[in-house]
């Protein structure tokens, strides 16, 4: 019998597979994300995409372990392979891959989308780790009722 991690590891690019085998990061899916993210402390969710579609995804094999080292002990790391990343991306408002989402005790704190310069990663993650949880910028469609005005109620 194979586990989700075993099945995913056979389909994932070898450089990304090292995030599990070499660095011990957890393979995150819709089924285990809450159990992974809700314990106290910060969790860094790494949203990956198929490297044939988004070549920058392979850069994560180097970037993520370096970030974990630079912020040693500040967060646990979970990696979402493309199917899980696509399924959970609306929950956190991810619009661009690769992306990192930071949670604290299961609550959204912030995200960094796309590749950045190293100093930007350090600055953004430092700011996010010091921030309070907030509402995730979920993807949705604004609802406007017929006859409503942009000024809002009482206008």
- 54 occurs within a structural domain: yes
Residue percentage of the chain with pLDDT more than 90: 78
pLDDT of residue 121: 97
- 34 occurs within a structural domain: yes
- 153 occurs within a structural domain: no
- 10 occurs within a structural domain: yes
Residue percentage of the chain with pLDDT more than 70: 83
CA 106 to CA 150: how far, in whole Å?
A: 34
Q: Which residue has the higher pLDDT, 145 or 4?
A: 145
Q: What's the whole-number mean pLDDT along residues 111-139? A: 94
Q: What's the whole-number mean pLDDT along residues 129-145? A: 76
- 135 occurs within a structural domain: no
Nearest to 76 by CA among 103, 50, 112, 116: 103
- Contact by Cβ (8 Å): 113, 94: yes
pLDDT digits (tens, 9 = 90+) for 9-21: 447 899 999 999 9
CA 29: distance to chain centroid? 11
- 61 occurs within a structural domain: yes
Exposure b/e, 60-70, CB count within 10 A at least 16 = b: bbebbbebbee
Burial of 150 (0-12, 13-18, 19+ CB in 10 A): exposed
Q: Which domain CATH number covers 102?
A: 3.40.30.10
- 149 occurs within a structural domain: no
What's the domain count of the chain?
A: 1
CA 39 to CA 128: how far, in whole Å?
A: 18
Q: Are strands 107-113 and 42-47 parallel, antiparallel or unpaired?
A: unpaired
pLDDT digits (tens, 9 = 90+) for 65-98: 999 999 999 999 999 999 999 999 999 999 999 9
**105 lies in which domain range?**
4-129
- 36 occurs within a structural domain: yes
Look up the pTM and report it.
Answer: 0.82
């Amino acid at each position: 019998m194979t586990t989700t991690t075993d099945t995913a590891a056979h389909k994932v690019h070898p450089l990304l597979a090292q995030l599990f085998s070499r660095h011990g990061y957890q393979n995150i899916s819709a089924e285990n994300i809450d159990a992974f993210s809700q314990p106290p402390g910060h969790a860094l969710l790494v949203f990956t995409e198929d490297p044939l579609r988004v070549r920058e995804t392979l850069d994560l094999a180097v970037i993520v372990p370096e970030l974990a080292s630079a912020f040693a002990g500040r967060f646990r790391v979970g990696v979402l392979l493309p199917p899980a990343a696509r399924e959970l991306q609306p929950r956190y408002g991810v619009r661009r891959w690769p992306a990192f989402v930071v949670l604290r005790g299961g609550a959204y704190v912030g995200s960094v989308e796309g590749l950045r310069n190293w100093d930007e990663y350090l600055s953004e993650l430092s700011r996010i780790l010091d921030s309070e949880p907030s509402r995730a910028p979920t993807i949705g469609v604004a609802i406007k009722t017929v006859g409503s005005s942009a000024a809002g109620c009482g206008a």
